[in-house]
Structure 1
Amino acid sequence: MSSGARLRVLSLATLYPNRAAPNFGVFVARQMEAVTRRGDVDLTLASPLGLPPFPLSLHPRYRALAALPDSEERGGVRVIRPRFRLIPVIGGRFNAMAVARAVLPLARRLHAERPFDVVDAQFFYPDGPAAVRIGKALGLPVSIKARGADIHHWGARGDTARQVLGAGQAAQGLLAVSQGLADDMAALGMPRERIALHRTGLDRTLFRPLDRADCRARLGLPADASILASVGALIDRKGQRFAIDALAQLPGAILVLAGGGADEPSLRARAERLGLGERVRFLGPVPHGELPVVLGAADVFVLPSASEGLANAWVEALACGTPVVTTPIPGARELITNPAFGRFAGRDGAEIAAAVAELLAEPPPREAVLRGAEGFSWEANAAALVSHWQRLAGR
């Protein structure tokens, strides 16, 4: 254990915002900024950058990442960015080892200067196996946090499942954003007694009820239409296509999609094919600070995810007074515990349309919806995380 009162933590987060990708893992940044504001943790955040070999490295996306500084302070957090070799699409199974090789020399040097107390991973893959290797090399306890897709995707892939399970069995402490996700981790073979619940946070100064008419005016939306909003990457797992299918059964309603991703062309084509081109609005990636306007404009928030831990977007919608329609996955069942908070529906346009229609016919009072986000804050999230690290460090 290091000397002094402040806990020294090295945290790995391959998803962390930067100038090239400001929305990338913004929820991790908010958490770590809240940790730093406490004043009792000396935090170093390692956000390894995966860069492919030439000529893929010439792609604008990777050129922008390569131009980022090796280290900087963001929101009061010290961020370092070791580079590792990335093989897009087919190289996922190598990423954890590559991250460990990139971070370990720097971790050794920093640990020799001022010893760390804990090595932390903010995602289960590739961060988790890399953190276990670094922790073993430095003789330090390791914590790994599971958020959802890192377990449901990487924990099920044939080429990475063993790495995920091995890291979960080797780490001294594990975190899950929902009880359902903790159960999924235990079902894979991770020790249930080491898994603690760690809920997401919420910026209550940002996500709060706003004037609906003003929000709609800012987005160029009609004041008298029924508005559905969906926030998230445009990828198959998020299921925006089912929200588009539902829109076909909700005459006059408009669907606003905030986010970018590989599914955008197919989603646009689906909307046109169903004759909904004018009623589906693609906003692209929306800065996190502007999401309350999107959520505040909506009558209902729709996210037909195949899997989630406990989605930040659900909590943020409720904090804006907007009820949620989502799939009955475990994390959602832990949050949507009152009819005022929303409805459950399968990944099916007719089911989603019926759930939305119920909420439009009898909108729950905003005050009742807001209760769904009670207890969520980044301060509470940070306090729980620091307590977890302290237990691992024997503080």
Structure 2
Amino acid sequence: MKILTLTTLYPNHIKNGHGIFVEQRLRHLLGCEDIEAEVIAPVPWFPFISEKFGRYSVFARIAKTERRYGISLSHPRYLLLPKIGMTLAPLMLVFALYPLLKKKLKQGDNFDLIDAHYFYPDGVAAVMLGKLLKKSVIVTARGSDINLIATFYWPRKMIVWAAQQASAIITVCQALKEKIVDLGISPTNIHVFRNGVDLQFFVPIDRQKAQTELKLTRPTLLSVGHLVELKGHHLVIEALQVLEDYHLVIAGDGEQMPRLKKMANDLGVAERVTFLGAISHQQLVTVYNAADILILASSREGWPNVLLEAMACGTPVIATHVSGTPEIVTSSEAGMLMDERSAQAIVTAVRTMQKQMPQRQETRAYAENYSWDATVHGIAGLFKEILGRPSVEGSLAHQDGD
């Protein structure tokens, strides 16, 4: 079986952490099953590479092709227009990719199905391409594609159409499946395959050495993710005013960096906040091990891998009760959930956990229930089942023969 993974969410040589969860699933799938894959990860077209153009210039610097972990990647460009780009994005992707895929098939470089990640615009475009190329399409919903983008009128219309036409839908948690059902989609074609965690990569290491490397001398809270409002880093900084015995490490980069630094300074806690910026996955292992508790104060999530990564390193978590988090944090060994998203709720949760901290080896043992094995075998089985279905044309011919 050869699959074509189509997504705008995939790491590249410049943005190594971009959509890392898509790459992780694909790598484990290829490692466990007799499957080949090629990745097409389109990026918006931009003409200038100068850094003075900010984040847009990053698109121009991404190579047209590359290889990661033995997997071939291509990064074709598509037009993303300001203001109206969100509505037209699926069509722009189709216009850019159809000639490329048509040429690929004509040259004998065939693939069996399209494995699309993120429902909008990626999934919508993939279903359109599947119809043009007569290929099965499986779309994986990831989180904000359903929790946020589906709240807009035209994107929701296109997401519903694509969901009705896709050969199958995968969600990373039960909560996302329920959200898609609420859009009017039959649950029978929606399959829940959660993300796993790489238990050989995220492992407990020498904590004292990790803390020394980060120059940490007191109990430490950790907040990981893009520096945007929905991740709730500002709430953890605010909670630090009361949690005077704690240091806070924030790992991630984003538009709110200046605001968060100013907030820490204004609240008088700047000396107890370390901003690491964007860091590698290898560095994350050190940071997870150095921390006492990971805080995830998000307003929405799909299946937040940071929770499992921290737990695999032995670090318990505190998270808001949103979307997939209750499916991850199900026992005291894992950590606890907050019903309210506020600084006071963080303070209360930290103080509660302080009284009965789970043993780090127990937290690691809990994470070991979330390997990738069951997920990738289930997905491979779904792919094979879909490819074994009779085609529409074949079914009609069979009926005519009867």
Q: What number of residue pairs does the alignment pair up?
A: 387
Once the two structures are TM-superposed, the CA of residue 297 in structure 1 deviates from its matched residue by: 0.7
Q: In the alignment, which of 259, 269, 274 is matched to residue 267 of structure 2?
A: 274
TM-score normalised according to structure 2 size? 0.91
Determine helix, strand or coil for the equivalent of 2:199.
coil
Q: Output the amino acid matched with 2:252.
A: G
**Is residue 2:11 matched to residue 1:17?**
yes
Q: In the alignment, which of 135, 140, 149 is matched to residue 140 of structure 1?
A: 135
Q: Distance in 2 between matches of 1:69 and 1:55?
A: 12
Equivalent pairs: percent with the same residue?
34
Q: Distance in 1 between matches of 2:196 and 2:223?
A: 19
Asked whether the 8 Å contact 1:52–1:88 carries over to 2, the reply is no
Q: Distance in 1 between matches of 2:89 and 2:51?
A: 17
**Is residue 2:159 matched to residue 1:183?**
no
TM-score normalised according to structure 1 size? 0.93
Q: Distance in 1 between matches of 2:308 and 2:192?
A: 16
Q: In the alignment, which of 388, 395, 399 is matched to residue 394 of structure 1?
A: 388
Q: Output the amino acid matched with 1:203.
A: D
Q: Output the amino acid matched with 1:15.
A: L
2:95 aligned partner: 101
Q: Distance in 1 between matches of 2:113 and 2:281?
A: 30
1:107-186 counterparts in 2 under 5 A?
107-112=101-106, 113-186=108-181
Cα 1:219/1:64, change in 2 over 3 Å: same
Q: Output the amino acid matched with 2:5.
A: S
Decide which structure has the larger Cα Rg and report it. 2
Structure 1 unmatched runs, 5+: 1-6
Asked whether the 8 Å contact 2:314–2:363 carries over to 1, the reply is yes
Asked whether the 8 Å contact 2:46–2:60 carries over to 1, the reply is no
Q: Distance in 2 between matches of 1:140 and 1:58?
A: 42
Residues 211-249 of structure 1 deviation map (CA, whole Å, 9 limit, x = unaligned): 221111111111xx1100011111111111111121111
Q: Output the amino acid matched with 1:353.
A: V
Asked whether the 8 Å contact 1:16–1:47 carries over to 2, the reply is yes
2:73 aligned partner: 79
Asked whether the 8 Å contact 2:49–2:60 carries over to 1, the reply is no
Once the two structures are TM-superposed, the CA of residue 83 in structure 1 deviates from its matched residue by: 0.6
1:39-54 counterparts in 2 under 5 A?
40-52=34-46
1:315 aligned partner: 308
Asked whether the 8 Å contact 2:199–2:368 carries over to 1, the reply is no
2:346 aligned partner: 352
Comparing 353-362 with 86-95, greater Cα deviation is found at 86-95
Once the two structures are TM-superposed, the CA of residue 20 in structure 1 deviates from its matched residue by: 1.5
Asked whether the 8 Å contact 1:174–1:195 carries over to 2, the reply is yes
Q: Output the amino acid matched with 2:280.
A: P
Cα 1:35/1:89, change in 2 over 3 Å: farther
Q: Output the amino acid matched with 2:380.
A: V
Q: Distance in 1 between matches of 2:9 and 2:320?
A: 25
Q: In the alignment, which of 281, 285, 289 is matched to residue 292 of structure 1?
A: 285
Cα 1:295/1:88, change in 2 over 3 Å: farther
Q: Distance in 2 between matches of 1:17 and 1:54?
A: 21
Asked whether the 8 Å contact 1:336–1:372 carries over to 2, the reply is no
Determine helix, strand or coil for the equivalent of 1:330.
coil
Determine helix, strand or coil for the equivalent of 1:206.
coil
Asked whether the 8 Å contact 2:8–2:42 carries over to 1, the reply is yes
Q: Output the amino acid matched with 2:90.
A: A
Once the two structures are TM-superposed, the CA of residue 60 in structure 1 deviates from its matched residue by: 4.9
Asked whether the 8 Å contact 1:104–1:134 carries over to 2, the reply is yes
Q: In the alignment, which of 375, 381, 386 is matched to residue 381 of structure 1?
A: 375
Cα 1:329/1:162, change in 2 over 3 Å: same
Cα 1:212/1:88, change in 2 over 3 Å: farther
Cα 1:363/1:57, change in 2 over 3 Å: closer
Cα 1:46/1:242, change in 2 over 3 Å: same
Q: In the alignment, which of 47, 61, 65 is matched to residue 59 of structure 2?
A: 65
2:213 aligned partner: 218
Once the two structures are TM-superposed, the CA of residue 381 in structure 1 deviates from its matched residue by: 3.3
Comparing 360-369 with 60-69, greater Cα deviation is found at 60-69
Residues 163-215 of structure 1 deviation map (CA, whole Å, 9 limit, x = unaligned): 22221111110001111111111111222111101111211122111222111
